[in-house]
Structure 1
Amino acid sequence: MYDAILVPTDGSRAADAAVAHAVELADRFDATLHALYVVDAGAYSLLEGEPGFVADALEREGEAAVSRVAAAADDVDLAVVESVVAGTAYREILAYADDHDVDLIVMGTHGRRGLDRYLLGSVTERVVRSASQPVLTVRHEEAAADEA
């Protein structure tokens, strides 16, 4: 059913929850797991100082995040493709999924509501609305518990 599963990560606990699901699904279907981190160019373009320094730090953060995905997949002996790219997060996720014939995208959600969600936007929501592939969203446990 699934040959290639994409799990975008930002290194957060919400992303880690999605990683666990993605690893389980990839293991069940003997699929290749793709771990993707997007260095958001907009996040540092307006900062004063040396933008290259910030970009390098974000790239190192991304490499660490995809390495954590690979380590989780290694526990069950899965093939993992690690990628760190620069751009706008949701656009890069969609492009990567299309370019690599991904069958499923597994993403975490922070569970933001109201003004926070409106002001901050949601990468996951944009991917869900725009992807041609199915998108499985995994809600972070703390976010769900906060609403109870």
Structure 2
Amino acid sequence: SMFKRILFPTDFSAPSMKVLDYIPALQEVGTREVVLVHVIDSKDITLIASGGQGFLGTVSDRETETQRRLREEIEHQIIDARRSLEKRGLKVTVRTPVGNPEKEILSAADAEEASLIVIGSHGRSNIRDRLLGSVSEYVIKNARQPVLVIKRDTAGAK
């Protein structure tokens, strides 16, 4: 199935997590595996960890309190998202590359041989959510895979 292995890039903002609501529908059309991608923007890396690629593994001794909190928060969000997907019987792979979000999403899609990229879209008031603005536009234009854009609810949305 064209939908068997999907790539789900997320920054954990509400619009990006809307993708989860569509998982049952995607399973009906053959989705069995989800590759969850959370890119750690290298521009923000000083905020996060001196550990570089070892972000979720080895952590440098010099990690500050702020870095530690941020890292733990991301780890919890990843665990929660992974659990909710696994509960639905999906096989989940997690990737947390460090770099430029647009390029890392595309290279993860290629490396993981995703058949489809499923991405949340920003609404006007969410224009500041980087992943859901310029990043989703870049992905739509440049991905080799088909891209399914999940529109956020406009009704009653903040």
Letter in 1 for 2:93: V
Query: Which secondary structure does the structure 2 equivalent of 1:145 belong to?
Result: coil
Residue 65 of structure 1 aligns with an amino acid whose one-letter code is: Q
Cα deviation 1:74-115 (Å, max 9, x = unaligned): 2321111112121111110000000010000011112137xx
- 1:88 corresponds in structure 2 to 100
User: Which 10-residue stretch deviates more, 20-29 or 53-62?
Assistant: 53-62
Instruction: Indicate yes or no: 2:32 matched with 1:31.
Output: yes
Aligned residues: 139
2:105 aligns to what SS in structure 1? helix
Does the residue aligned with 1:29 lie in a helix, a strand or coil?
A: coil
Q: Which has the higher helix share?
A: 1
TM-score for both structures, normalised by structure 2? 0.73
Which 5+ residue runs of structure 1 have no aligned equivalent?
none
**1:87-126 maps to which residues of 2 (within 5 A)?**
87-112=99-124, 117=127, 121-126=133-138
The amino acid of 2:32's aligned partner reads A
Partner of 2:13: 12
Q: Does 1:132 align with 2:144?
A: yes
Identity %: 28
Q: TM-score under structure 1 normalisation?
A: 0.77
Structure richer in strand, relative to its length: 1
Tell me, in whole angstroms, the C-alpha distance in 2 between the residues paired with 1:136 and 1:60. Answer: 30
SS at match of 1:80: strand
